C-alpha cells in the first residue's frame, strides 16, 4: 500500500535504459540496412560500363541548366542518406545509453543489491554448464575446506564466523542445484530458502513525482498522450491515405478515373489530350499552389517543344523541370488506371506521351529522327529525298548522305549524332510462345505465361532473322529450379542502362512496357508488365548493314554465339480457357523512352487437351 520512491537511484536507470533500447535497437538496424543495402551501387561491371556510355553520350547534349538541376535533386538523395535526422537520433541515443551504463556501474547501491543475489555457480566456483559430477566434486572440495570442524585453530572469531557463513552458503548452493525441493525454490524465487524480502517501488526518483517537477511530469504525459501521439498518428494516416499503391495522389487518381469513366469512344485519344489530363495532377498543385492546370499544360507543351520557359517568367524553367520529372510516376499511375478500364488506345497513347516527354519531341511521324541530337528540323523536313521516318531507313545511306539529310555540316556533330542513333536500342522479336512450365502445350485451365526471345540490336545492324539463330540459343533449361520459378532467369539479365535523354530533368533508366489485349474485343486483359532488365551488349557490335553481305540466305560473318538473346516473360493474369481452340492475343511491347523501339504483334494460343 505504501510505495517507496527510488531514492538511491537503483531502478530508474534500468527503466530508462530499457525504454531507450526498445526504440534504439530497431532504429539502428533499420538505418544500417538502408545505408548498406538500399544502394544500387551493387551494379555489375557490364551495367557500369553501359551506364557510363550513355551518361557520356547524354552529357554532351545536356544543357547546363539541367545539369545544375540534376546536381541539386539527384544528389540530394545521396547526401541525405548519411546526414539525416534519424542517424543523428541513433548516435545521440547510443551516447545516452553509454552514459546510463556508466552511471549504473558507478552506483554503489546497485552494486550492493547485486551482491545480494544468490549465484550457486559462483559460490561453488564452477561454470554454468557444469555437470552433476562436477558440482558434487566442487562441493566436496570446498566443504572440506570450509567445514567448521576442519577449520584451523588459529583463526580469529571474525574469520571463523565468516568461514562458517561461507560454508552455509556453499551447502545451500549445492542443495540448490541438486535437491529437488530446494532447486524448485531457487528457480522460483532466486534463493534456496524460498521467497526473500521483496520491495515494491516506483522506478522514479521522488522529486519527479512528488516534488516541484511533478506538475512538469504531468504536463509531459498529457502532451505526449493527448497531443503529440494523436498528431503523429493522424499525420501518418493521412499521408498513407493520400497516396495510391502506385504512388500517385488519390486526387490525381480519381481525376483520371473520372476522365476515363466519361471518355467517349468517339473522341480520338491524342498526346495533347493526355497532357491536358496530366496537367490536373494534384502533385503539381502541391508543388506550386499558385499555378493552374492551364499553366502546367503550357509548361509541359513548352518542354515538348523545347521552348525556354524563362522567357515567360523568372525561374519558370525550374518549375518546368520539377513537373516534368514528376510526370514519370504520374504517367505510370495513369497507365495502370487505363489498364483497369481495359482501354488499349489510351494505354498506347500514354506510352507515346511518355516518349514525347522523355525526349522532348512532339508526337509526329518523324519523331524517330527528331529524337536525335543536332538535327536541323527545317532542312530535314523539307528535304528532297524520299520521306525518311525511321532510323533503320536512315542507316541505309552512307554517313555523308545522312549528314546532308539531317542538315548536319560539322563532322564531329555528325559522328556524335550517328553514335547516339546507333546506340538507341531496337528490339527484334525472335520467338514468341505461350509456355506452361513442365508441359509441351497449353491445356485447358492451365496457367501459361508469354515467353519472348528478343534481340536488342542497333538500327545500324543488318537484320537477323529467326532462322539465323540456332534453337539451342533459344531453349530454356528444363531443370527443377526453372520449373519452380520460370521468371528467375529474367532477373539474371543486367539492368537496362541509363537513357539518352538530355532534355529530361533527371537521369533515368528506360524500360519497356508490355500490354496484352484480346484480339476478339480489342481490350486489355491485365495491368502492364514492365521490363527493366535486358542486355544492351549487342549494340556495340560492328555489324553495319551497309557493309555486311548476304551469301544466299546466310549472313556473311555472322556468328550467332557472339550475340546475346534477351528474354521477356509476361505472366498472364488469368488461366487458359476451358474449351479447346485458338485464342488470339495482341502483344505490344513499347519503350518508355525511345521512338522506334517497339514491338506490336499477334500471338495465337492453341488450347489442346
Binding footprint of other proteins on the chain (CB under 8 A): 262, 264-268, 270, 363, 365, 389-396, 459, 519-520, 522, 545, 582, 584, 586, 600-602, 604
- Least CB distance to other proteins at residue 598 (A): 9
Question: Which contiguous run of DSSP H or E holds residue 307?
Answer: none
**Least distance from other proteins to the Cβ atom of residue 309, Å:** 24
* Residue 281: Cβ-neighbour burial (10 angstroms; 0-12, 13-18, 19+): buried
For CA atoms 165, 171, 173, 179, give the dihedral sign: negative
Q: In which residue are the cell numbers 495513369 written? A: 334
Instruction: For 86-107, give one letter per residue: b (16+ CB within 10 A) or e.
Output: ebeebeebeeebeebeeebeeb
* H or E element in which residue 50 lies: helix 45-61
Q: Which is nearer to other proteins, 10 or 352 (CB)?
A: 352
Q: Give, to the nearest 10 degrees, the angle between helix 344-359 and helix 293-304.
A: 70
Q: To the nearest whole angstrom, how small is the minimum distance from the Cβ of residue 455 to other proteins? A: 15
Shortest distance in whole angstroms from residue 367 CB to other proteins: 12
DSSP 574-598: SPPPSS-EEEEEEEEEEESS-TT--
Nearer to other proteins, 84 or 522 (CB): 522
Name the residue nearer to other proteins (CB basis): 174 or 594.
594
478: β partners: none
In angstroms, what is the minimal distance from the CB of 451 to other proteins? Answer: 20
Q: What is the dihedral of CA 243, 245, 248, 252, to 10 degrees?
A: -80
Ordered alpha helix ranges (H), 190-281: 206-209, 214-222, 229-242, 250-261, 271-278
Please report, for the chain, how many H helices and E strands are present, in that order: 26, 12
Closer to other proteins by Cβ: residue 84 or 519? 519
User: Could you tell me if 463 and 20 are in contact, meaning their C-beta atoms sit under 8 angstroms apart?
Assistant: no
Work out the number of other CB atoms within 10 angstroms of the CB of residue 78: 9
Min dist. Cβ of residue 374 to other proteins (A)? 20
Q: From CA 510, how far away is CA 497, in angstroms rounded?
A: 7
Count of other CB atoms within 10 angstroms of residue 49: 15
**Closest distance of CB 474 from other proteins, Å:** 22
Distance CA 184, CA 291 (A): 77
Measured from the CB atom, the residue of 282 and 598 that comes closer to other proteins is: 598
Q: 26 vs 365, which CB is nearer to other proteins?
A: 365
Residue 583 Cβ vs other proteins, minimum distance, rounded to whole Å: 9
Question: Is the Cβ of residue 232 or residue 463 nearer to other proteins in the bound state?
Answer: 463
Residue with cell 549504473: 104
CB of 390 to other proteins, least distance (A): 5
SS3 assignment, position 366: coil
Residue 54 CB neighbour total at 10 angstroms: 21
Q: Which residue number, 540 or 602, has a Cβ lying nearer to other proteins?
A: 602
Residue closer to other proteins by CB (options 163, 394) is 394
Judged by CB, which is closer to other proteins: 365, or 573?
A: 365
Query: Least distance in Å: CB of 438 to other proteins?
Result: 28
Q: Do 437 and 571 touch, CB atoms closer than 8 A?
A: no
The least distance separating other proteins from the CB of residue 602, rounded to whole angstroms, comes to 4
Amino acid at each position: 500500500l505504501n510505495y517507496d520512491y527510488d531514492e538511491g537511484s537503483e531502478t530508474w536507470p534500468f527503466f530508462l535504459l530499457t525504454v531507450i533500447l526498445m526504440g534504439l535497437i530497431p532504429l539502428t538496424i533499420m538505418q544500417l540496412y538502408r545505408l548498406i543495402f538500399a544502394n544500387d551501387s551493387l551494379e555489375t561491371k557490364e551495367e557500369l560500363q553501359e551506364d557510363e556510355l550513355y551518361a557520356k553520350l547524354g552529357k554532351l547534349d545536356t544543357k547546363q541548366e539541367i545539369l545544375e538541376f540534376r546536381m541539386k535533386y539527384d544528389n540530394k538523395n545521396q547526401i541525405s542518406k548519411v546526414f539525416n535526422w534519424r542517424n543523428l537520433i541513433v548516435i545521440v541515443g547510443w551516447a545516452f545509453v553509454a552514459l546510463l551504463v556508466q552511471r549504473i556501474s558507478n552506483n554503489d547501491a546497485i552494486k550492493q543489491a547485486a551482491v545480494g543475489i544468490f549465484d550457486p555457480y559462483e559460490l561453488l566456483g564452477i561454470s554454468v554448464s557444469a555437470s552433476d559430477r562436477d558440482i558434487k566434486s566442487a562441493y566436496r572440495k570446498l566443504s572440506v575446506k570450509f567445514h567448521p570442524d576442519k577449520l584451523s585453530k588459529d583463526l580469529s572469531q571474525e574469520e571463523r564466523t565468516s568461514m562458517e557463513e561461507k560454508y552455509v552458503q556453499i551447502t545451500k548452493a549445492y542443495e540448490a542445484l541438486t535437491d529437488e525441493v530446494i532447486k524448485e525454490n531457487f528457480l522460483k524465487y532466486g534463493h534456496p530458502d524460498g521467497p526473500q524480502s521483496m520491495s515494491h517501488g516506483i522506478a522514479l526518483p521522488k522529486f519527479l513525482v512528488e516534488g516541484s517537477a511533478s506538475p512538469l511530469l504531468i504536463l509531459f504525459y498529457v502532451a505526449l498522450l493527448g497531443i503529440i501521439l494523436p498528431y503523429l498518428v493522424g499525420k501518418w494516416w493521412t499521408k498513407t491515405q493520400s497516396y495510391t499503391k502506385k504512388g500517385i495522389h488519390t486526387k490525381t487518381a480519381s481525376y483520371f478515373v473520372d476522365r476515363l469513366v466519361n471518355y467517349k469512344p468517339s473522341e480520338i485519344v491524342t498526346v495533347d489530350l493526355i497532357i491536358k489530363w496530366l496537367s490536373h495532377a494534384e502533385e503539381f498543385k502541391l508543388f506550386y499552389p499558385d499555378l493552374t492546370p492551364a499553366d502546367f499544360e503550357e509548361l509541359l507543351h513548352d518542354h515538348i517543344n523545347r521552348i525556354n520557359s524563362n522567357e515567360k517568367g523568372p525561374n519558370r524553367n525550374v518549375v518546368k523541370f520539377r513537373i516534368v520529372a514528376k510526370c514519370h510516376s504520374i504517367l505510370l499511375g495513369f497507365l495502370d488506371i487505363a489498364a483497369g478500364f481495359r482501354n488499349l488506345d489510351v494505354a498506347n497513347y500514354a506510352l507515346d506521351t511518355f516518349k514525347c516527354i522523355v525526349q522532348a519531341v512532339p508526337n509526329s511521324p518523324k519523331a524517330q529522327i527528331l529524337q536525335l541530337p543536332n538535327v536541323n528540323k527545317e532542312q530535314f523536313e523539307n528535304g528532297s529525298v524520299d520521306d525518311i521516318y525511321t532510323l533503320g531507313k536512315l542507316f541505309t545511306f552512307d554517313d555523308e548522305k545522312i549528314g546532308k539529310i539531317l542538315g548536319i555540316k560539322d563532322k564531329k556533330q555528325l559522328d556524335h549524332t550517328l553514335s547516339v542513333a546507333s546506340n538507341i536500342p531496337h528490339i527484334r522479336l525472335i520467338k514468341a510462345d505461350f509456355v506452361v512450365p513442365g508441359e509441351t502445350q497449353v491445356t485447358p485451365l492451365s496457367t501459361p505465361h508469354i515467353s519472348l526471345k528478343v534481340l536488342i540490336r542497333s538500327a545500324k545492324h543488318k537484320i537477323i532473322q529467326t532462322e539465323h539463330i540456332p534453337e539451342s540459343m533459344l531453349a530454356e533449361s528444363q531443370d527443377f529450379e526453372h520449373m519452380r520459378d520460370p521468371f528467375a532467369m529474367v532477373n539474371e539479365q543486367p539492368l537496362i542502362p541509363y537513357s539518352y535523354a538530355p532534355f529530361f530533368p533527371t537521369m533515368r533508366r528506360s524500360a519497356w512496357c508490355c500490354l496484352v489485349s484480346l484480339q476478339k474485343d480489342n481490350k486489355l486483359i491485365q495491368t502492364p508488365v514492365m521490363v527493366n532488365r535486358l542486355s544492351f551488349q549487342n549494340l556495340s557490335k560492328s555489324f553495319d548493314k551497309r557493309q555486311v553481305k548476304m551469301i544466299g540466305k546466310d549472313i556473311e560473318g555472322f556468328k550467332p554465339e557472339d550475340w546475346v538473346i534477351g528474354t521477356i516473360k509476361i505472366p498472364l493474369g488469368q488461366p487458359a480457357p476451358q474449351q479447346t481452340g485458338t485464342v488470339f492475343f495482341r502483344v505490344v511491347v513499347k519503350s518508355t523512352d525511345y521512338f522506334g523501339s517497339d514491338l506490336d504483334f499477334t500471338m495465337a494460343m492453341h488450347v489442346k487437351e
